[in-house]
Amino acid sequence: MEDEFYRIKRLPPYVIAEVNAMRHAARQAGRDIIDLGMGNPDLPPPQHVIDKLCEVAQKPGAHGYSQSKGIPGLRRAQSNYYARRFGVDLDPESEVVVTMGSKEGLASLATAITAPGDVVLAPNPSYPIHTFGFIIAGATIRSVPTTPDEEYWRSLERAMAFTVPRPSIIVVNYPSNPTAETVDLAFYERLVAWAKENKVWVLSDLAYSELYYDGNPTPSILQVPGAKDVAVEFTSMSKTYSMAGWRMGFAVGNQRLIAAMTRVKSYLDYGAFTPIQAAACAALNGPQDIVERNRELYRKRRDVMVEAFGRAGWEIPPPKASMFAWAPLPPALKDMGSLEFSKQLLTHAEVAVAPGVGYGEDGEGFVRIAMVENEQRLRQAARNVKRYLASMGVNSSAA
């Protein structure tokens, strides 16, 4: 009876939880921690979305079980979003399913299509659900790089040539969490052709579709002709509309994958609370000025963070997209490792960041910084970091 449960035994340690526990303890002790660790938006949703939630919640009939795959109006709204944003036609009945956030969607699809022993290609470093969701479902993970260069394609060829059984699923996530790397449509064209040739399903996580900077809109894999033959794509309302706690997302694309996922979900849940789904319709169908406003706000935060941390002595490459920066450790402290460096920043600079090693072994040497505090707090974080780096003998540039 004391043996570890099978699936619990297969889960690797959740490294990031260690830093989260330290942050919680520090706050409980009354310390003012500037939290750049978790990608938790600090902005409110649009007022008309909140109003719609309240309006529908007043209706007596809105409190029963909802539809597991999402109410028809919300699936139509997501279909219209894809047509408007990407020029992609989707059948809301057979090619769209509503999920409780993209994280739940990925886990449900992993449960639906994975058999024990299946091999899944997943990026390293990557957001934990991209690997953990399949590990829980009984699959084996083979890592491929996150950086979309020629080595990425060579690693795919090696994986197909030397892995038994041959991989049947590949996960991609651009803009990447945690690295903020991006791809163009040519990358997806090549990936779709590769997937068809090798009979591999493609799962694309597009959670940061609207947080792009410098005028380069994020493409969807479904813009590639024939992509629906092999691909499903996940999106989320968490970052686009600042609705992270509402748990609202979508999976769209290949009918067979959507049908499998819809069936599994029908056994597991009754769908999101109907007023939340109605409010999500209001977000997708209503004024979209908040999307541009949020994008511009995160871009300004990015610029402030890069400039202020640079002056503090820590050079951070400006991310092209997402709400994260993927920051190499200051060269003088690289040997410390990302977990210890994150603990030191929390203890001595009162700044929380996420250790890169928590996203896979190839994340070692980096930390992920979330742009979820206002500009004033980001500058304060840089001042705190500057003092810490000075105490460690790292020189900053002239302030």
Rounded to 5°, the CA angle 307-311-314 comes to: 90
pLDDT of residue 399: 36
Three-state SS at 96 = strand
pLDDT of residue 17: 82
Q: Pairing relation of β-strands 231-236 and 201-205?
A: parallel
> What is the reported pTM?
0.94
pLDDT of residue 396: 63
Return phi, psi of residue 9, to 5°: -65, -30
pLDDT of residue 142: 96
Three-state SS at 137 = coil
Rounded to 5°, the CA angle 60-65-66 comes to: 95
pLDDT of residue 4: 79
Q: Are 39 and 177 in contact (CB under 8 A)?
A: yes
pLDDT of residue 102: 83
pLDDT of residue 14: 75
13-16 — which CB contacts under 8 Å span 24+ positions?
14/128, 14/358, 15/339, 15/355, 15/357, 15/358, 16/128, 16/354, 16/355, 16/358
The three-state (H, E, C) secondary structure of 185-246, written as one string: HHHHHHHHHHHHHHCCEEEEECCCCCCECCCCCCCCHHHCCCHHHCEEEEEECCCCCCCHHH
Neighbours of 311 (CB within 10 A): 16
For every one of its 399 residues, what pLDDT tens digit does the chain have, with 9 covering 90 and above? 567 788 888 777 777 788 888 899 999 999 999 999 988 888 899 999 999 999 999 999 999 889 889 999 999 999 999 999 999 999 999 999 999 988 888 999 999 999 999 999 999 999 989 999 999 999 999 999 999 999 999 999 999 999 999 999 999 999 999 999 999 999 999 999 999 999 999 999 999 999 999 888 999 999 999 999 999 999 999 988 989 899 999 999 999 999 999 999 888 888 899 999 999 999 999 999 999 999 999 999 999 999 999 999 999 999 999 999 999 999 999 999 999 999 999 999 999 999 999 999 999 999 999 999 999 999 999 999 999 999 988 776 533
Q: Are 91 and 79 in contact (CB under 8 A)?
A: yes
pLDDT of residue 275: 95
pLDDT of residue 286: 94
The three-state (H, E, C) secondary structure of 7-70, written as one string: HHHHCCCCHHHHHHHHHHHHHHCCCCCEECCCCCCCCCCCHHHHHHHHHHHCCHHHHCCCCCCC
pLDDT of residue 87: 98
pLDDT of residue 397: 55
